[in-house]
Structure formats: structure tokens, C-alpha cells
Amino acid sequence: MVETQHEHSGSATLAPNMVWDAWGVAAGHQPLSAQIRGLLGQVFGISGEPVPRRDAADVPLISTTLTTADRTGLTDIVGDEYLTTDPLDRLRHAGGKSTLDLLRRRDLEPQDAPDAIVFPADHAQVMALLAYCAAHEIAVVPFGGGTSVVGGVDPVRGRFDTVIALDLRRLDTIDAVDPVSGTATLGAGLTGPRAEELLGAHGLSLGHFPQSFEFASIGGFAATRSSGQASAGYGRFDDMVEHLVVATPQGTLDLGRAPASAAGPDLRELFVGSEGTLGIITSVTVRVHPVPETTAYQAWSFPDFAAGAAALRTVVQAGAAPTVLRLSDEVETGLNLARSADVGGNPVSGCLAITTFEGSAAHVAARSAEATDLLTAAGGTALGEAPARQWEHGRFAAPYLRDALLDLGVLCETLETATSWSNLATLKAAVTSALTESLAAQGTPALVMCHISHTYPTGASLYFTVVAKQLDDPIAQWRLAKTAASEAMVGTGGTITHHHAVGADHRPWMGAEIGDLGVRVLRAVKRELDPTGVLNPGKLVP
């Protein structure tokens, strides 16, 4: 059964996180200039006129299956005002923000969505909800900021009739701050900005700035092994996790007793990255640092990607300790130049690299000097601060641009992987070829650009952005290209995802990633903690 609601505004007490059919908030969406639309029209053979967005009230939504008895059972736990089946609330929890999600939102077919959304107040209510759902066979999708780009919060019912989204936004407190040890205990529902605001009151910062920063949640960062743009300096989110509290249908896990331990396997690492399939993370104690005294910005030009990558490698292997260290390939550098021409960006040929250093003035000066020597010796030309500051200024804006492109009938999506330094060029070439060849075979020439945004002593990430004209069925079009890219990754020694997680979209490749026996290990843990299988069905575990 499908219902179309003509009057709904969502629940009053719970402000929306993001708009239902695109990234972010309405104010973030700016139309592209006529000049850029004209350019896109030429390149991709499109009209350059955006398709108007739909009104949520016109969306045919599959009716909720929540029974009256279950509504009562759930509201007995959270209270009447913290359960909603309002269509707009359901739409806002209907998935994440992958291009596939956004294309589905634009689709005229009936939309599926969670049958209800519950907003527990605390860990105890999460535990009670899990017990209820396990006993009454209701699937549970944990929902933080809803920024997943891999189908991680899709309302998959699995073998159950009903699926609810368990929205963690009310777990939004900072529960303990230890400035001596540099740790803080954060509620799973805190967004990135709110966590920074609460820490900032103590003179502290987390330093985790993924592109999803403005909307994503602390629990989501942990559950998906998120990695921020300052990972060179402050580590991946995995590295920041000191302690976790995890709610499961079988009880609470309380993991991490010390900064380091030899007391057996590190079980935190089973739940970091578990994507709500093994339990729901309700609280995370993270490593924090004082708000840095100073930040030094520097941009660099390298003749080509190979030279730039080799230069980044020398910096990270020497332990020169930048906070941000990134490199755009020739295509991305050229396109960013085109985009930034209006705002006075420096002309950059070859490949643009960016470094920042944070800490005390003396610390920054020493590190920056060492990196400058290494990058110069490796063939880099210093470009000054401006391009680096400009990158930082616009670093959360790219997803809004994607929506503008989708509106114009242009397909735009990103994907990412990682590998060793020695395998980086091979992997980059393989993924680029897979994407361009798959899209070309479908009759749509593609632009594929790439950057390195996360570096390690032994290797680096590769982040690809793909742009092509949308075909009549852009979902099928992208699925073909994405499959080709994924096969190239696993066939060329890369990981299926460096920081976007597995969700529903990468699940078919988990066997290639960890082997059949590794999959059996995950299933064994899931059986133990979630014997009825209500936790986020259809995600992560094949």
C-alpha cells in the first residue's frame, strides 16, 4: 500500500538534520552560475536547465507496517513524543546520501522508508528498545547523521515485516572531560560541530573533519571507521577511540580499559566499523587535544601525480607530522582551478598538494621546515598559503555541488580505496580505467579525477570523483560503473573502502576483503550478540 501525504511537517520536537532529498540544509544549496551551466551543457550535451525538485508531499510512500501493539510497546520505552510515523520524518530517514540514494529520492516510484522512527533518550532506552525489537522481531537501523554514502542506513527489513530507525540524536551530551589525559566521553548522537563546540568550551578539539562533519555523528564516525581530512595529524577516528559503550540485544559491552593493553584481542576493533550490525554504539571516549595555538598553511605544485605522491610519501615516512597532507591529480587540479578562477585562485599546473601543520608555534615551525625541505627536494614548488586556505574554506561544500549537478542531469559520485605506496599508481590506473571504460561502454564519456587525502607510512588512500551525463536509468548506469570500479579495487590489491564503510553497497565484496572464513567469524559474533538478527539487516555481513 502506498500513501501520499499532502499535509505533513515532521515531528515538532525534533528538528530535521538534513533536507529529505539532497545533502545538507536548504541554505547550502546555491544554483550554479549560468557560465558553469553553459560549460556543463557543452561538455555533457545537456540542456543546462535544472529539473525542479519534488515536493515531499507528492512522494508516494509505502505505508508503515507498525502495528498498534508495537507502537505501544515502543512508546512505553521512549514516550509518545519520541516515536513518529509521520511521512516527512520517515522520508528523512529513508536512506543516506549516496548518489544512488539521491537518485532514488528523485524517482517517481513509491519510496520505502522505516515504518517508524524512535528517539531514545539514553543507553538504557536503547537497551530496552533492542530487547523489545529482538523479542518482537522488528528490524532496527541505527541512525546518526544519516550521511552514509554506502546504503548503511537503508530501511532494509530482512526477514522481518517491520523496520524502525533508531535515531540517536538525543544522546548528545559530553559526559566526562579529562584534560590531563586528553580524553572526553561523547554521546553517540553528537554531531561533529556540536562535539567541537562542547570540547571548545574546555579549550579542546577532536580534530575529526570528514566531508560529512557538519551533519554526521560521533557514533556514526565510530561505527563506520570514519577518517577526517586532518587524519595525518590526529589519526583516523579508529585511532581516536579509547573506550566504547555498545548496546546489544544480549547486554552491554564496555570496552577499552587503558591507552594500550595486551589483554587479548582488542574487541573495540570489532565494534569500530560494525555499522550497527553487531550492536549500537551509545558512547565513545575519544582522544582530544588542546585547540592548536597556530596553524601553518602551504600549497605546493608538483609536475605530475607520481612525483607528488612520492613527495607525500617522503614526508609521512620521515615522520614530519603534518596535520593535513593531500594531493590532487592533474584532472582534479585542473577542474578546481576552473572552479576557483572566479575567486582568485592561483593558476596551478600539474598537481596541487596541500599541507597544514598545527600545534605550538615552535612545533609548527620545526615540522613545517622539515616538510618544506622534503617537498622541495622531491620536486615541489611552493605556492604560498592562499590555495591551502581556499581548500579549507570550501572543504565541506562538495556534496552541495553534487546536488546541483544531479539536478542538471549530470551523474556525480565519489568512491575511495587505499593501498601500499608501491601499488598506488597501479590501483589508480585500474580504477580510473574501469570507471571510464564502463561509462564509455554505456555511451557516456566520463571525467574521473582523483586525490590522495589520507597518508600512512606504508601507503595512502585514493579518492575518486566521477562525473558523466545521466542516462535514462542513472541508477543502473552508476551500478555498472561502481561494480567495475569495485572489481578493479579487489583485483588490484586495494581495499573496497578506505573511509566510506561497507553498508549495503560494498557488502558483495566483503568475501574478497576478509575471505570466507573472515565472514564466518563476523557471522559467529553476530549470532552471539544478535541471535534474532534484528540489527541493521542487509548491511556489512554477507
Q: Which of 125, 461, 465, 536 binds a copy of itself (CB under 8 A)?
A: 461
Least distance between a copy of itself and beta carbon 523 (Å): 8
Identified binder of a copy of itself from the candidate list 212, 417, 444, 477, rule CB under 8 A = 417
Segment contacting a copy of itself by CB under 8 A, of 136-144, 247-255, 327-335, 430-438: 247-255
Residue 144 CB, shortest distance to a copy of itself, in Å, is 15
Q: How far is the CB of 326 from a copy of itself (least distance, A)?
A: 15
- 228, 387, 459, 474: residue in contact with a copy of itself (rule CB under 8 A): 459
Q: Is 147 exposed, middle or buried (0-12, 13-18, 19+ CB in 10 A)?
A: buried
Contacts of 294 (CB under 8 A, 6+ apart): 358, 359, 360, 361, 364
| Interacting positions 386-405 with a copy of itself (CB under 8 A) | none
Does position 527 interact with a copy of itself (CB under 8 A)? The reply is yes
Q: How far is CA 290 from CA 204, 238, 338, 368, in A?
A: 4, 19, 37, 19
Q: Which class for 310: exposed (0-12), middle (13-18), buried (19 or more C-beta within 10 A)?
A: middle
* x-marked contacts with a copy of itself along 294-313 as a string, rule CB under 8 A: -------------------x
Residue 141 neighbours by CB under 8 Å, 6+ apart? 93, 114, 153, 154, 155, 156, 163, 164, 165, 166, 276, 536
Nearest CA among 221, 243, 229 for reference residue 145: 221
| 421 binding a copy of itself? (CB under 8 A) | yes
The answer to whether 418 and 460 have CB atoms below 8 angstroms apart is yes
C-alpha angle 51-57-58 in degrees, rounded to nearest 5: 55
- Buried-state track 176-190, b at ≥16 Cβ within 10 A, e below 16: ebeeeeebbbbbbbb
CB of 365 to a copy of itself, least distance (A): 9
**Residue 477, H or E segment:** helix 474-491
Site for a copy of itself in 170-189 (CB under 8 A): 178, 180-183
Query: Is 318 near a copy of itself (CB under 8 A)?
Result: yes
Q: Does 487 bind a copy of itself (CB under 8 A)?
A: no
344 lines the binding site for a copy of itself (CB under 8 A): no
User: Minimal distance in Å, beta carbon 258 to a copy of itself?
Assistant: 4
Tell whether residue 464 is a contact of a copy of itself (CB under 8 A).
Answer: no
- The stretch near a copy of itself (CB under 8 A) out of 120-128, 139-147, 154-162, 272-280 is 272-280
Instruction: For residue 151, give the DSSP letter.
Output: S
Which of these is catalytic: 82, 132, 297, 463? 463
- Which segment (33-41, 161-169, 211-219, 261-269) binds a copy of itself by CB under 8 A? 261-269
Largest CA distance in the chain: 70
Pairing between β-strand 2-3 and β-strand 61-62 as defined by DSSP bridges: antiparallel
Least distance (Å) between residue 345 CB and a copy of itself: 30
Site string for a copy of itself, 364-383 (x = CB under 8 A): --xx-xx--x----------
Three cell numbers at 418?
A: 587505499
Total chain residues near a copy of itself (CB under 8 A):
100
Tell me: does residue 232 bind a copy of itself (CB under 8 A): no
Q: Which of 251, 443, 491, 508 binds a copy of itself (CB under 8 A)?
A: 251
* Residue 446 three-state SS: strand
Residues 64-123 that bind a copy of itself (CB under 8 A): none
Q: For a copy of itself, which residue of 84, 419, 438, 486 counts as binding (CB under 8 A)?
A: 419
30-46 burial, b at 16+ Cβ within 10 Å, e below that, comes to eebeeebbeebbeebeb
Residue 165 binds a copy of itself (CB under 8 A): no
CB of 327 to a copy of itself, least distance (A): 16
**What is the C-alpha R_g of the chain?**
23
Q: Is 491 in the site for a copy of itself (CB under 8 A)?
A: no
Q: Which stretch binds a copy of itself (CB under 8 A): 105-113, 263-271, 333-341, 444-452?
A: 263-271
| Least Cβ distance, residue 143 to a copy of itself (angstroms) | 18
C-beta closer to a copy of itself: residue 137 or 178:
178
Q: Which of 270, 280, 378, 383 is close enough to bind a copy of itself by CB under 8 A?
A: 270
Distance CA 170, CA 337 (A): 42
Give the whole-angstrom CA distance, residue 87 versus residue 162. 16
Q: Quick one: which H or E segment has residue 84?
A: strand 83-84
The C-alpha atoms of residue 202 and residue 215 are separated, in whole angstroms, by: 22
> What is the smallest separation between the CB atom of 394 and a copy of itself, expressed in angstroms?
24
CB of 238 to a copy of itself, least distance (A): 7
234 in active site? no
Shortest reach from residue 233's CB to a copy of itself, in Å: 8
Contact residue for a copy of itself among 43, 62, 255, 480 (CB under 8 A): 255
User: Does 254 engage in binding with a copy of itself (CB under 8 A)?
Assistant: yes
At 171, is the secondary structure helix, strand, or coil? coil
500 is a site residue for a copy of itself (CB under 8 A): yes
Residue 536 within binding range of a copy of itself, rule CB under 8 A: no
Q: Measured in whole angstroms, how far is the alpha carbon of residue 247 from the centre of its chain?
A: 22
Q: Which of 78/241 has CB closer to a copy of itself?
A: 241
> Could you identify the residue written with the cell 581530512?
229
Helices (H) and strands (E) in the chain, counts: 18, 21
Rounded distance, CA 241 to CA 1, Å? 44
Q: What residues from 506 to 525 belong to the interface with a copy of itself (CB under 8 A)?
A: 506, 509-510, 513-518, 520-525
Query: What value, to the nearest 5°, has the Cα angle with vertex 70 and ends 68 and 74?
Result: 120
Return the range that interacts with a copy of itself (CB under 8 A); candidates 57-65, 123-131, 413-421, 473-481: 413-421
Which residues are the active-site residues? 463
